[in-house]
Chains A and B, each alone.
Chain A
Amino acid sequence: MSFVLSTPVPRVDQVGVEERAAKFTKRSIKNEAKDIGLKLAVSMMDLTTLEGADSKGKVTHLCRKARQPMADRYDCPPCAAVCVYPNLVAHAVSELEGSGIPVASVATGFPSGQYPLDLRLADVRDAVDSGAAEIDMVISRGAFLEGEYQRVSDEIAAVKEACGKAHLKVIFETGELQTYDNVRFVSQLAIEAGADFIKTSTGKVSPAATLPVTLVMVETVRDHFLATGKKIGVKPAGGIRTAKQALQYLVMVKETVGDDWLTPELFRFGASSLLGDVELQIAKRLDGNYQGSDYFSKG
């Protein structure tokens, strides 16, 4: 049985898209633009910890960091969300009480997704019941690569339903799908199946987010918006470690899909170590010199 998207997607030329992405890295972001960009990046950050060793204590540290990443005088906004495993959602919710910062949880048998659907859906419901406002699901990459697109689509729709009011981010693990054609196709598939956000990676597979992969996803979101008026968010995750990289993503968003997407409502960074470098740069802008990284808490 063949699967048909309601809006067919164009092909993607690898050389061309990588060349285009590289052009965004040539923009020179200075002075006020840098201030704005850096703080925007913090406000878009899903501060993440996804380790087997995660504990309540670790999550407490992270939640405090998300509420106030830097000392008052830097006027730094809070992070967009805190992202944890389902087991720690309830704890994160209580730690973030009153902050307005949502808790995101990976679910659906993260990171592989290689579990029966009913277990994955139970995983989602459990996270939502614990207070997760955002669910980061993984698609069945095996099914996608087998060409079982209908199954992938149906699963996303089922997870969306299980999410209830929680926002759904759909993780493709683009490092496993590999081709830009696959990325473009799965992006459209996920959007049509009900994704609120499309997300590159789990952070557990290399390569994780790259600029060209994210560009392909942003272009899909843009074309969907132009056709339907509906805005879908994009979240690159994994592999973004420096402020410079984060600014390059923002340049790409600004020049591809415009001002409306320069908001945490529609663009997020999934990152664990990015914040540290962004803090250094924000402090440099205000204080005029770089400080040792020891002066900033590690979350």
Chain B
Amino acid sequence: MGDLKFGDAFDYAAAPETTPVPLQKQYELFLDGEFVAPSSGKYFWSVNPSNGKRHARIARGEEKDVDAAVRSARKAYEKVWGPMAPAERGKYLYRIARLIQEKARELAILETMDGGKPIKESRDVDLPLVAAHFFYYAGWADKLEYAFPGGRPEPVGVASQVIPWNFPLLMAAWKIAPALACGNTVVLKPAETTSVTAMHLAQIFQDAGLPPGVVNIVTGAGETGAALIDHPGVDKVAFTGSTAVGKAIAESVADTTKRLTLELGGKAANIVFEDAAIEQAVEGVINGIYFNQGHVCCAGSRLLLQESIHDDFIARLDRRIETLRVGDPLDKNTDIGAINSREQLGRITKLIGSGIEEGAELHESSAKLPEDGFWCRPSFFTGVSASHRIAREEIFGPVLSVLTFRTPAEAVARANDTCYGLSAGIWTDKGSKIFQVADQIRAGVIWANTFNKFDPTSPFGGFKESGFGREGGLQGLRPYVQLG
């Protein structure tokens, strides 16, 4: 029996991304096409999670600012953006997409500095997708009648959009691009811990000559978001974030005429059958849970393994997590970056504690963690039962729960044994099994023999408590039009 050594022969030298970026000391609100100080004069700190240091001050928008933003959006909707010829709106979106591509490198670096994700991902995944979303929806702008044949699509009005911290720019793109393409105007509230790149996106809107008020960005904490969602001048609310907050939002808009889409949590099953291409399934499982430190609503956080391959697969996972490189997110060789915030690290740590307490076995990489900042080793639990907290609650960190099954029917039952229904993965070399199983799983996105693949042409969204409404694709236009 052999034992592999992953030591320091041919160790990679540090390869940090050193391109200088225009990180500002202070960021203002983006209201009516201008960068303006918040009415309160108050700011809060944005922290670089890889070293725990404060690196920029962010404007704290309050009710007054939200009100000004919504008014500006309303005016722009009625006077400029709504009446504009659709093809002209498309031109702005194309211009924005091109500017994003031009500034992709600096945006990727800022995204990594502010959020903690590895530069490899912000460079190769986030930014290309951000630009692709704007390109894709730019194309729809003057073709909406073909998206809704006979439906006479019209814009909804002013959209308030509240986005999470895991993919700051990408979530902004998912929200803003379809809204604008359909002729709506927007007030966006970025997540408290990741506002920096949203303000650089605002700069791009300004550079693109986007008319004032078409997009307003109000930074702040939860109260700012609540004020934006509750504002009576808003026609449409789009939220991506936790299920708890999503439920509160659903309640708050229940007695209004606001339209609502929610993209919430997940606890996706990644099902590996014994007839899968095992080596590629291991990679898919790794990518499914450790991509973006597991800060992914559609993360494959429950691995369902067929009992016959359990031990072999676990041994492969044990070895594989040893080769994941944890550390400086700006290093081009880093696979796992920093946890986004101290609060999130606290939540993850607590759930890891519950897993141990409830009797599951923790497997952890032996990676050495940096001293400062917020870090969590890539890890997974074996011996997890369906009733364990770590099998039911979203951890939103690099922690995988491994459960077992015996037959396809049991796999389906276990996969659906959750209040969520955002995504799932199926791994088998047998095509018919893919279709048979996928048809029975209640989840919005199902990947077969791959995981965490995103494309602007493909709709994304949840079943059950993972939310409703779809983003991306033709379906992503629907929440932003009313059909006459």
The answer on A and B forming one complex is: yes
Interface set of A (CB-CB < 8 Å, partner B): 10-13, 15-17, 19-20, 26-34, 36-37, 40, 219, 222, 225-231, 250, 254-255, 257-260, 262
Whether A259 and B9, one on each chain, are in contact in the complex, defined by CB atoms closer than 8 angstroms, is yes
Q: List 30 A-B contacts (CB under 8 A).
A: A11-B275, A12-B280, A13-B277, A13-B429, A13-B449, A15-B280, A15-B450, A16-B277, A16-B279, A16-B450, A17-B279, A26-B124, A27-B12, A28-B12, A29-B15, A31-B13, A33-B10, A33-B12, A36-B10, A222-B4, A226-B315, A227-B2, A229-B1, A229-B2, A250-B10, A254-B9, A254-B10, A258-B5, A259-B5, A262-B10
Q: Considering only CB atoms, which chain A residue lies closest to B309 in the complex?
A: A10
Given A30-B13, A226-B3, A254-B6, 17 further pairs, Cβ under 8 A: A10-B276, A11-B275, A13-B280, A15-B280, A16-B277, A16-B279, A16-B284, A20-B279, A20-B280, A27-B12, A33-B13, A226-B315, A229-B2, A258-B4, A258-B7, A259-B5, A259-B8
B residues near A225, Cβ cutoff 8 Å: 2, 4
Contact of A226 among B1, B13, B283, B333 (CB under 8 A): B1
Q: Could you say which residues of chain A place their CB within 8 Å of the CB of B276?
A: 10-11
Task: Kindly state whether residue B278 has any CB partner on chain A within 8 Å.
Answer: yes
B105 within 8 A of A: no
Q: How far is the CA of A124 from the CA of B2 in the complex (A)?
A: 32
Do B9 and A262 have beta carbons less than 8 Å apart? yes
Interface size on B, residues (CB 8 A): 33
Q: Is the CB of A12 within 8 A of B4?
A: no
| Residues from chain B with Cβ under 8 Å of A250 in the complex | 10
- Return the contact of A259 from the options B7, B124, B332 (Cβ within 8 A): B7
A7 to B100, CA, bound (A): 51
- Closest B-chain residue to A215, C-beta based? B279
Residues of chain B within 8 A (CB-CB) of A28 are: 12, 15, 332-333
CB distance from A44 to the nearest CB of B (A): 12
Cα of A12 to Cα of B429 in the assembled complex, Å = 9
B120 at the A/B interface (Cβ < 8 Å)? yes
CB distance from B61 to the nearest CB of A (A): 38
B407 interfacial by beta-carbon distance below 8 Å: no
Quick check: A16 and B10 within 8 Å, CB to CB? no
Q: A16-B284, A28-B333, A257-B4 are in contact. Are A11 and B429 (CB under 8 A)?
A: yes
Alpha-carbon gap, A259 to B323, bound state (A): 12
Question: CA–CA, A31 to B14, complex, Å?
Answer: 9
Contact string against A for B residues 1-35, beta-carbon threshold 8 Å, 1 for contact and 0 otherwise? 11111111111111100000000000000000000
In the complex, residue of chain B having the shortest beta-carbon distance to the beta carbon of A18: B280
The residue in chain B whose Cβ has the minimal distance to the Cβ of A33 is B13
Contacts of B9 in A (CB 8 A): 254, 259, 262
Nearest neighbor of A262 in chain B, beta-carbon distance:
B9
A13–B7 CA distance with the chains assembled, in angstroms? 29
Q: How far is the CA of A117 from the CA of B279 in the complex (A)?
A: 36
Contacts A226-B1, A255-B323: A17 and B280 contacting too (C-beta < 8 A)?
yes
A114 to B10, CA, bound (A): 41
CB-CB nearest in chain B for A254: B10
Check if B283 sits within 8 Å of A16, measured CB to CB: yes
List, in ascending order, chain B residues with CB within 8 A of A40's CB.
Answer: 10
CB distance from B315 to the nearest CB of A (A): 8
Q: Give B6's nearest chain A residue, CB to CB.
A: A258
Q: How far does the Cβ of B449 sit from chain A's closest Cβ, in whole Å?
A: 6
Shortest distance in angstroms between A214's beta carbon and chain B's nearest beta carbon? 14
CB–CB B12/A29 < 8 A:
yes
Q: How far in angstroms is the closest Cβ of chain A from B238?
A: 32
Closest to B275 in A: A11
Name the distance in Å between A56's Cβ and chain B's nearest Cβ. Answer: 37
Mask: chain B, 242-282; 1 = CB below 8 Å from A; 0 = not: 00000000000000000000000000000000011111110
A15 vs B277: C-alpha distance when bound (angstroms): 11
Q: How far is the CA of A10 from the CA of B274 in the complex (A)?
A: 10
Q: Is B449 a contact partner of A16 (Cβ separation < 8 A)?
A: yes
B274 CB to closest chain A CB (Å) equals 10
Query: What's the Cα separation between A11 and B283 when bound, in Å?
Result: 14
Q: Shortest beta-carbon distance, B122 to chain A, in Å?
A: 13
What's the least CB distance linking B48 to chain A, in Å? Answer: 21
In the complex, what residues of B have CB within 8 A of residue A255's CB?
A: 6, 323
A10 to B281, CA, bound (A): 11
Complex contacts, A222 vs chain B, CB 8 Å: 4
The answer to whether A227 touches B1, judged by C-beta atoms less than 8 angstroms apart, is yes
Contacts of A16 in B (CB 8 A): 277, 279-281, 283-284, 449-450
CA distance A39 to B276 in the complex (A): 39
Tell me if B283 and A20 are in contact (CB < 8 A).
yes
Q: Which residue of A lies closest to B11 (CB)?
A: A33
B89 to chain A, nearest CB (A): 36
Please name all residues of chain A whose beta carbon is closer than 8 Å to the beta carbon of B279 when the two chains form the complex: 10, 12, 16-17, 20, 219
- Alpha-carbon separation in the docked complex, A222 to B278 (Å): 14
Contacting residues, chain B, for A27 (C-beta < 8 A): 12, 332-333
Residues of A contacting B2 in the complex (Cβ-Cβ under 8 angstroms): 225-231
Which residues on B sit within 8 Å (CB–CB) of A10? 276-279
